[in-house]
Structure 1
């Protein structure tokens, strides 16, 4: 098995929205805001090469939305999925599986693209299966008013219409060991219904792709919960359970949205679970 970081683009989000009820005087220390109160955000996806399978975890925003839409998110840098795949010797047509932690636009928008004459949409990975789970799919395709702006039909429905959509079998509890894709999955409901957090065993290490359970290293304190979370009082125990285990077992936490910290390990302290070590992907891959 080999793992590669795939950078799908960088953007900015309102720091207050990213940290909920936490005062700016606190979160600005770890995630400094610009003059518009925006903080740097990454879309650090993961590519797993395992035998004949090439599995991409999350796909970023993509590039099919309008200029007005992207204007809300202050795109920066020149990263893209295609450039990042090519840097590792791959093309999007090589991808066999696209695993989506959840279907918010900044995690799955790159899964779908315009067709050739821009009259409709098609999967951006023509040879891949697209993986979600049935609970989350129902939640995303019949969105509540709070999340409607994050679940965009053009990002989601073409995967099903193409016949390439598959569902991960869910466990009785919140943890699925050894899924169809060869890694385990922690299911979390605080951010959105049945978000999936992959845990990959890699050369004696457990690498956890944190998605929006832990957006950045600055979100480690338990009350530091995004304003975007639909059930913040569920996020609290989910974070506590996951981070306690991560500290006990020395997990490597892959930070999808942290533009400046790629991977961290954590440890128990008097203040709770905090950063133990900050690493680059190249340090462990």
Structure 2
């Protein structure tokens, strides 16, 4: 197995929304806001090369939405999905599986693109199976009012209509030790119903793609929970258990949304679990 971080593009969101009830004077230390109160975010994905499988975990915002839509998110930087894949020697047609942690637009928008004459949409990975889970799919396709703006039909239905949609089967536990895709999956429900976090054993280490459970380094303290979470008290429970497990077992956290930090380790302190060390991907997994 070989894994690669894939930068699909950077954007900005309101810092207050990203940190919920935490005062700006605190979160601004780790995630400084601009004059519009917006903070830098990444849409960092992960590519897993495992035998004949080439698995892309999440795929960013995509490029099919309107100029007005993207103006709300202040896109910045030069990264793109195709450009990042090309640097690694791959093309989107090489992708065999697209694993989606959840179906909010900033995680799955790249799954679907305009068709050739822009009269409709089609899957952006023509040779891939798309993976979500049944509970989350139902949650996303019959959305609640809180999340409706994050679950966009044009990002979802073409995956189903193409016949490329697949569901991860979950039993009664919150963790699948090893899935069909070759890695473990941890289910969490605080941010949205049945978000899936990949646990990957790689080069004698365990790396967890933490998606929206811990969006950035600044979200490591327990009470630093996003205003976007549908069940923030449940997030606190899930996050507390996860952070303790991560610190005890020396798991590495790979951040999807931290524009300036890729990976970290954790340590236990008198104030709870805190940041230990920051690393780039290449520092931990030298080519």
TM-score, with length taken from structure 1: 0.99
Q: Deviations over 1:6-40 (max 9, x none)?
A: 11100000000000000000000000000000000
**Alignment partner, residue 2 of structure 1:** 2
Q: Deviations over 1:72-97 (max 9, x none)?
A: 00000010010000000000000000
Shift of 1:233: 0.5
**Alignment partner, residue 266 of structure 2:** 266
**Alignment partner, residue 206 of structure 1:** 206
> Runs (4+) of structure 1 moved beyond 3 Å?
none
**Alignment partner, residue 188 of structure 1:** 188
1:255 aligns with 2:255: yes
1:109 aligns with 2:109: yes
**Alignment partner, residue 278 of structure 1:** 278
Q: 1:129-140 maps to which residues of 2 (within 5 A)? A: 129-140=129-140
C-alpha separation between the residues in 1 aligned to 2:30 and 2:118?
42
C-alpha separation between the residues in 1 aligned to 2:2 and 2:284?
11
C-alpha separation between the residues in 1 aligned to 2:10 and 2:252?
22
C-alpha separation between the residues in 2 aligned to 1:237 and 1:144?
22
Q: Deviations over 1:44-81 (max 9, x none)?
A: 10000011100000000000000000000000001001
Shift of 1:122: 0.4
Shift of 1:171: 2.1
C-alpha separation between the residues in 1 aligned to 2:284 and 2:92?
24
Shift of 1:155: 0.3
SS at structure 2 position matched to 1:31 = coil
Q: 1:20-169 maps to which residues of 2 (within 5 A)? A: 20-169=20-169
1:237 aligns with 2:213: no
Shift of 1:283: 1.3
Q: Deviations over 1:100-138 (max 9, x none)?
A: 000000000000000000000000000000000000000
C-alpha separation between the residues in 2 aligned to 1:120 and 1:7?
27
Q: Deviations over 1:253-282 (max 9, x none)?
A: 000000011000001011110111100011
Identify unmatched segments of 5+ residues in structure 1.
Answer: none
TM-score, with length taken from structure 2: 0.99
Shift of 1:203: 1.0
Shift of 1:242: 0.5
Shift of 1:284: 2.0
